Structure 1
Amino acid sequence: MTMTMTTRTIMGITTITPDIALNLGPGAATDAAVSAAGLFDLLSWMSPAWPVGAYTHSGGLEWAVEERFITDAPSCQGWIADLLGQGPLWSDLVLFAHAFHAARAGDGIALLAVAELAHAAATGAERRLETCAQGEAFRRIAGAAASAEAFVLLDDVPEDELAYPVACACLMAQADLPLEPALAAFAHGAVANLVSAAQRLVPLGQTHAQQVLRALKPQVLVQAARAAALDPNEDPFAQMGSASLMAELGCMAHETQYTRLFRT
Structure 2
Amino acid sequence: MKEKEANTSQLLQLMTLLSPFFPVGSFAYSHGIEQSVHDGLITCCADMEIWLRGLLQKGTGWNDTVFLIQAWRNVKTGTDITELGQLACAMSGSSEREMETCMQGWAFLKAAADYGAECPIHSEKLAYPIAVGIIGAEMDIELEALVAAYLHSFISNLVQAGIRLVPLGQKDGVKIMHALENDIRRLSQQARHLTLTDLGSAAIMSDICAMRHETLYTRIFRS
Using the size of structure 2 for normalisation, the TM-score is 0.95
SS at structure 2 position matched to 1:261: coil
* Counterpart residue number, 1:8: none
Q: Is the 8 A contact 1:184 1:221 kept in 2?
A: yes
* Counterpart residue number, 1:200: 164
Q: Could you report, residue by residue, the CA deviation over 1:187-219 in whole angstroms, capped at 9, with x for unpaired residues?
A: 000000000000000001011111111111011
* Counterpart residue number, 1:137: 107
Q: Say whether 1:244 aligns with 2:203.
A: yes
- Whole-Å Cα distance in 1 between the matches of residues 168 and 104 of structure 2? 25
SS at structure 2 position matched to 1:35: helix
Deviation, structure 1 residue 136: 0.2
- Unaligned regions of 5+ residues in structure 2, if any? none
Name the structure where helix makes up a greater proportion of residues: 2
Q: Is the 8 A contact 1:135 1:164 kept in 2?
A: yes
* Counterpart residue number, 2:221: 262
Name the structure where strand makes up a greater proportion of residues: 1
SS at structure 1 position matched to 2:215: coil
* Counterpart residue number, 2:93: 123
Deviation, structure 1 residue 34: 5.9
Q: Is the 8 A contact 1:131 1:163 kept in 2?
A: yes
Q: Is the 8 A contact 1:183 1:228 kept in 2?
A: no
Of the three residues 66, 69, 72, the one matched with 1:94 is 66
Q: Is the 8 A contact 2:143 2:191 kept in 1?
A: no
Of the three residues 127, 140, 146, the one matched with 2:116 is 146
1:168–1:60 Cα change, 3 Å? same
Q: Is the 8 A contact 1:34 1:181 kept in 2?
A: no
SS at structure 2 position matched to 1:80: helix
Deviation, structure 1 residue 146: 2.3
Counterpart of 1:135, as a letter, is: G
- Unaligned regions of 5+ residues in structure 1, if any? 1-30
Deviation, structure 1 residue 228: 3.2
Q: Could you report, residue by residue, the CA deviation over 1:42-73 in whole angstroms, capped at 9, with x for unpaired residues?
A: 00011001010000001000011111111110
Rg larger in 1 or in 2? 1
1:78–1:114 Cα change, 3 Å? same
Counterpart of 1:66, as a letter, is: H
* Counterpart residue number, 2:18: 46
Q: How big is the alpha-carbon RMSD for the aligned residues of Structure 1 and Structure 2?
A: 1.4
- Whole-Å Cα distance in 2 between the matches of residues 183 and 93 of structure 1? 7
Counterpart of 2:18, as a letter, is: M
Which is bigger in relative contact order (C-alpha 8 A, separation at least 6)? 2
Deviation, structure 1 residue 260: 0.6
Deviation, structure 1 residue 259: 1.0
Q: Is the 8 A contact 2:37 2:165 kept in 1?
A: yes
Taking only the aligned residue pairs, the percentage that are identical comes to 35
Counterpart of 1:216, as a letter, is: L
Of the three residues 50, 60, 69, the one matched with 2:32 is 60
Q: Is the 8 A contact 2:42 2:48 kept in 1?
A: yes
Counterpart of 1:205, as a letter, is: G
Deviation, structure 1 residue 239: 1.2
Counterpart of 1:140, as a letter, is: K
> Following superposition, which runs of at least 4 residues in structure 1 exceed 6 angstroms of deviation?
none
SS at structure 1 position matched to 2:23: coil
- Whole-Å Cα distance in 1 between the matches of residues 212 and 95 of structure 2? 10
Q: Say whether 1:105 aligns with 2:77.
A: yes
- Whole-Å Cα distance in 1 between the matches of residues 140 and 216 of structure 2? 43
SS at structure 1 position matched to 2:55: helix
Counterpart of 2:103, as a letter, is: A
